[in-house]
Amino acid sequence: MSDHGPFSYLVNCAGYACFQPFFETDIEEKFDRHYGINVKPAIYLTQAIAANLKSKNMAGSVVHISSQGSTIAMTEHLVYSSTKASIDHICRI
């Protein structure tokens, strides 16, 4: 980041969704893929950019794009909805 100056803004809008009935959901495969795309990058990028801005005493903004699935029960959205609820929680801390 230092070669191009600090980033002042970040928009996390990644989204992967594979909807399956509850009892047919392959938790290990679907969980890892969903969290690997929808949650991990949002955490890692936010940490890196915020730490860089803080070290330079600069202000910035982070926007996380979530989904209605984070707050309401939706059929066949077990893993996807939990990733979007994670994104909502990241915004609160």
Give residue limits of the domains in the chain. 2-92
In which band, very low, low, confident or very high, does the pLDDT at 92 lie, cut at 50, 70 and 90? confident
Catalytic residue, candidates 16, 35, 44, 80: 80
80 is known as an active-site residue: yes
- Assign domain 2-92 to its CATH architecture: 3-Layer(aba) Sandwich (3.40)
3-57 pLDDT, tens digit per residue, is 566 788 999 998 999 988 888 888 788 889 999 999 999 999 999 999 999 999 9
Please state, in angstroms and rounded to a whole number, the distance separating the CA atoms of residues 85 and 93. Answer: 13
Please state, in angstroms and rounded to a whole number, the distance separating the CA atoms of residues 8 and 62. Answer: 8
